[in-house]
Amino acid sequence: MRTETGYYLAGFADGEGSFNISFRPRQDYKLPWKISLCFNISQKDKVILSLFKRYLVCGTLRSRPDGVWYYEVNNFNAIWEKVIPFFKKYRFLSAKKKRDFSKFCQIAEMVKKGEHLKEDGIRRIVEIRREMNDGGKRKYSNTEILSKFQESPETIRQIPITRE
């Protein structure tokens, strides 16, 4: 990649990109949540988004019904091996994006170490995520996520089973 293209894409992502941590409820997991990391950008013109896909060699590009194009990377290995190294090389200028990316990297490191598979790890991720994206709209609130841990296995064992 040409250096100027890397800086151009980083500058574009500085203004338009987003690093997100999402929680999805899962019945088939040991813990009640699956944690996903995602980098995305949306635009009406797909040319620049195609450049991201070409240079990062990962992610998906698709159009929404409203005519807006959407580029996203939500595969953890692609985020770890492509997205994070790219933005560590071609750094952001805005304080807000630097902060969000730093927290995104911190959470990625925790996921890499498997800390997201433990309750205390999820609690730390929730706390770190709270300070990202200025607390934007989230499908599940921090309180809702943490409330799933209120009933410990010990509490569940002590609840009497009634038969009808």
User: Of how many residues is the chain composed?
Assistant: 164
> Is 126 domain-assigned?
yes
Using alpha carbons, list the distances in angstroms from residue 111 to 58, 102, 115, 118: 19, 14, 6, 10
Dihedral (CA of 28, 115, 149, 76) sign: negative
| Pair 38, 74: CB distance under 8 Å | yes
| 1-10, 44-53, 99-108, 135-144: range with lowest mean pLDDT | 135-144
- pLDDT recorded at residue 163: 37
- Say how many domains are in the chain: 1
- pLDDT recorded at residue 159: 35
Long-range contact list for 115-119, CB < 8 A, 24+ apart?
116/35, 117/30, 117/31, 118/31, 119/31, 119/149
Asked whether the predicted pLDDT for residue 158 surpasses 90, the reply is no
What separation, in Å, do the N-terminal and C-terminal C-alpha atoms of the chain show?
68
Q: What is the rounded distance in angstroms from the CA atom of residue 134 to the CA atom of residue 23?
A: 17
> Is 29 domain-assigned?
yes
> Is 57 domain-assigned?
yes
Domain interval for residue 128? 3-156
> Is 38 domain-assigned?
yes
> Is 164 domain-assigned?
no
Question: Average pLDDT for residues 48-77, to the nearest whole number?
Answer: 95
CATH of the domain at 103: 3.10.28.10
Tens of pLDDT, residues 107-146:
999 999 999 988 889 889 999 998 887 656 667 777 777 7
